[in-house]
Amino acid sequence: MQNPVFGALCVSLLALGASPALSHATLEHSEAPAGAAYRAVIRIGHGCDGQATQTLRVQLPEGFYNAKPMPKAGWTLETVKGPYAQPFDNHGTPMTEGTREVVWSGGALQDDWYDEFVIRGTVGADVAPGTVLYFQTVQECADGKEEWIDVTGNKEAPNPAPGVTVTEAKAGHGHGGHAATAGTVTLGDLTLSGAFSRATPPGAPVAGGFLTVANAGADDRLVSASVDFAGRAEIHEMAMEGDVMKMRQLADGLPIPAGATVELKPGGYHLMFMELKQPLVEGETVNVTLHFEKAGEVEVPMTVGPMNAGKHGGKDGGHGGH
Ligand SMILES: [Cu+2]
């Protein structure tokens, strides 16, 4: 059965319409909301050219955090840890690394049997809706392997990696964190993500705006911002004056150095919308226009979160200084 001809035969049978759901390694649930737990159930429907699967390796996608595999009777379970490209906010504690690969070995899943391998984790709140997270999966048998590693999204690919499509964050989910953030906006070398503001009580004069700016190019600078729901927008920083945290305007704007990721967040750099013309209402989306020195101008949708959105424990520094 190790004859390579059988491999070719398998592929041509697929092309003739054998059910891909049975033939490929796939995920049970094809959609996962951003910012929520996801149970990745990887379904294995056959071995390698008739041979039993002895080892299953699954590489975890970027954006799938705090992953924990389910042990299986008869299999040895190992995990490989590594850094995340973007740190994960785990209930207020930043996690910079975690499980990136899961290996079940020492098993014997026969070619004509079926089994499921489960990994539970959390889809990052900042993962843009529409993103496909691929769980590249390799089955190892005595004399060969099946590699489900194609991440092109091509439906005709003979070896597609199991993938799950990220959907809009569920409103109201989360822990007062980035409960509902808007998608990602690209402007030249800049990637703007996770933009949000916070609901304001009636009559409040100001509101804050927050987002992450990742710069893949040369030095740039956020020069100014404008919105139509407030008289003006300023760029602020929080700084200690003596032992008091105060905010002040960055008159020269906010540098976005080459290769850096700059976060505007409660308690740190932020946009400040003054002379609000109307209260910001949780669940709505408002636009902010950002002007960068080199990259130019772009409009970014900001999701309006709850009044305490984005900061755990409510230690905000306050906007009372305005
Ligand atoms: Cu401010």
pLDDT in tens, 135-175: 999 999 999 999 999 999 887 889 999 999 998 886 543 33
Q: How far is the CA of 267 from the centre of ligand 1 (A)?
A: 9
Q: How far is the CA of 273 from the centre of ligand 1 (A)?
A: 8
Distance from the first to the final alpha carbon of the chain: 76
Q: How far is the CA of 187 from the centre of ligand 1 (A)?
A: 25
Give the separation between CA 29 and CA 26, rounded to whole angstroms.
Answer: 9
Q: How far is the CA of 274 from the centre of ligand 1 (A)?
A: 9
Which of the four pLDDT bands, split at 50, 70 and 90, describes residue 310? low
Both structure tokens of 297: 């101008």
Q: How far is the CA of 237 from the centre of ligand 1 (A)?
A: 7
Q: How far is the CA of 207 from the centre of ligand 1 (A)?
A: 8
pLDDT at 312 over 50: no
pLDDT in tens, 247-298: 889 999 999 999 999 999 988 899 999 999 999 998 888 999 999 999 999 9
The CATH code belonging to domain 185-309 is: 2.60.40.1890
Q: How far is the CA of 262 from the centre of ligand 1 (A)?
A: 17
- What pLDDT is stored for residue 1 in this prediction? 42
pLDDT at 313 over 70: no
Torsion of CA 187, 188, 190, 196, to 10 degrees: 0
- Is the domain 21-167 a CATH 2.60.40.2230 member? yes
Q: Where in the chain is the domain with CATH 2.60.40.1890?
A: 185-309
- What pLDDT is stored for residue 171 in this prediction? 55
Q: Where in the chain is the domain with CATH 2.60.40.2230?
A: 21-167
Nearest CA to 76 among 51, 106, 97? 106
Nearest CA to 158 among 145, 143, 146? 146
pLDDT in tens, 8-39: 444 434 444 344 445 789 999 899 998 888 99
Give the separation between CA 126 and CA 121, rounded to whole angstroms.
Answer: 15
Q: Is 208 exposed, middle or buried (0-12, 13-18, 19+ CB in 10 A)?
A: buried
Give the separation between CA 217 and CA 152, rounded to whole angstroms.
Answer: 25
Q: How far is the CA of 315 from the centre of ligand 1 (A)?
A: 14
Residue 30: count of CB within 10 angstroms of its CB: 11
Q: What is the pTM of this model?
A: 0.50
